[in-house]
Amino acid sequence: MEGTSPASQAWAIQVQGLTKSFGNHLALRGIDLEVRQGEFVVIFGPNGAGKTTLIKVLATIMNPSSGRVLVNGLNLKNNAEEIRRRIGVVTHQTFLYGNLTTYENLEFYSRMYDVPRLKERIHEVVSMVGMTSRLYDRVGTLSRGMQQRLSIARSLLHKPAIMLLDEPEMGLDQPAISMLWKALEIEGEGKRTIILTTNNLERGFELGDCLLILDKGKIVYQRSTQALDLADLKQAYQHSTRLEHELLA
């Protein structure tokens, strides 16, 4: 049942039987996933497992080959534009225009998202990520770490309920990574639903409520963080990515 019935409101994201094929290559082979509002889901997996493909499908950048995806009760197939209003996307590419200034970039995206009280909001998000001093500098002159922080500011402009993060740490050094996570810890706007893909087992364990391992397009492991410790996770990761398993009980 689509639409926004009370039952489906509790779920931020529902994925049923999602497959994605590129010609003969099956990137996602039947994903079933349910994410509650406010949950922090971390997805691990080796390269080529399908993590980026999954994020892209959820972000409506790619169309599923088959299966059903509901975001906040809205069906991906019919309500893609509505869904995009509610999600913020951060990948290792910043979506920022290098020869425009920070302000101009954020102004552009504010317009695209119909953000009310544009100027105020821009100043708000920029101070959230600690970049107020670079507001009128061209984005191309900023370091990689700063650009990525700015990318997070960009994704927060429209106060999305759901955040999709695809390996946001890629290419950043340690100090930049710390700042990145600090920027994401923003509360006070309600608890967001977050889906993060990463190769970093420690960080994922630290941050997530629910941990998934994706391998060769299937979820091969799913556990809540409370029921787990880091050593178990590491073992499970090595185990499930060497062989192919069905979902463990």
Partner 1 sequence: MKQSHVFRSGLLGLSFILLVVALYLIFIYVPTEKTMGIVQRIFYFHVPVAWVAFLAFFIVFLGSILYLWKRQSKWDVIASSSAEVGIVFTTLVLITGSIWAKPIWGVWWTWDARLTTSLVLWLIYVAYLIVRSYATEEQRGARFAAIVGIVGFIDVPIVALAITLWRTQHPGPVIFQGGLAPPMLLTLLVCLAAFTTLYCLLLIQRVSMKNDEGEIKRLKELCSWGCD
Partner 2 sequence: MSFWRNVIAITWKDALSQMRTKELVSSVLVFTLLVIVIFNFAFGASQETMRLVAPGILWVTFAFAGVLSLNHSFILEKEEGCLEGLMVCPISREVIYVGKMLGSLLFMLIIEAIALPIFAFLFNLILSLQLVVITVLTTVGFVAVGTLFSALAVNTRAREMVLPILFLPIVVPIIICAVRASGLALSGEPWGSLSSWLQIIGAFDVIFLVVSFLIFAFVIEE
- HSE value, Cβ hemisphere, 13 Å, CA-based, for 245: 17
Task: Please name the residues in contact with 118: beta carbons below 8 A apart, sequence gap of 6 or more.
Answer: 107, 110, 111
- Which one-letter DSSP state was computed for residue 218? E
Q: Which of 99, 133, 174, 226 binds partner 2 (CB under 8 A)?
A: 99
Say which entry of partner 2, partner 1, none residue 112 contacts (CB below 5 to 8 A, set by partner kind).
Answer: partner 2
3-class SS at 164? strand
Task: Name the H helices within 114-209.
Answer: 118-128, 144-156, 174-184, 201-207
User: Which segment (22-30, 42-50, 117-125, 220-228) binds partner 1 by CB under 8 A?
Assistant: 22-30
Query: Which of partner 1, partner 2, none is residue 95 near (CB under 5 to 8 Å by kind)?
Result: partner 2
Q: Which of 216, 223, 239, 245 binds partner 1 (CB under 8 A)?
A: 216
Contact 154, 109 (CB under 8 A): yes
Residue 25 binds: one of partner 2, partner 1, none (C-beta under 5 to 8 A by kind)? partner 1
What is the Cα Rg of the chain in Å?
18
Q: Which does 55 bind (CB under 5 to 8 A by kind): partner 2, partner 1, none?
A: none
**Per CB under 8 A, does 96 bind partner 2?**
yes
CA nearest 139: which of 172, 171, 104, 178? 104
Sheet holding 11-22, edge to edge: 25-36, 11-22, 66-71, 74-75
Interface residue with partner 2, options 17, 48, 98, 171 (CB under 8 A): 98
Q: Say whether residue 81 binds partner 2 (CB under 8 A).
A: yes
Q: Which residues contact 33 (CB under 8 A, 6 or more apart)?
A: 13, 14, 15, 18, 212, 219
Using CB under 8 A as the binding rule, whether residue 63 contacts partner 2 is answered as: yes
Classify 214 as helix, strand or coil: strand
- Spell out, one character per residue from 230 to 249, where the chain touches partner 1: x when CB under 8 A holds, - when not: --------------x-----
Please report whether residue 100 would count as binding partner 2 according to CB under 8 A: yes
Q: Which does 62 bind (CB under 5 to 8 A by kind): partner 1, partner 2, none?
A: partner 2
The values of phi and psi at residue 33, to 5°, are -150, 140
Q: Give yes or no for residue 17 binding partner 1 (CB under 8 A).
A: no
Encoded one letter per residue, x for contact with partner 1 by CB under 8 A and - for no contact, window 41-80 reads ------------------------x---------------
Q: Binding string to partner 2 for residues 105 to 144, with x set by CB under 8 A, is what? A: ---xx-xxxx-----------------------x------
Contacts to partner 1 by CB under 8 A: 22-26, 65, 216, 244
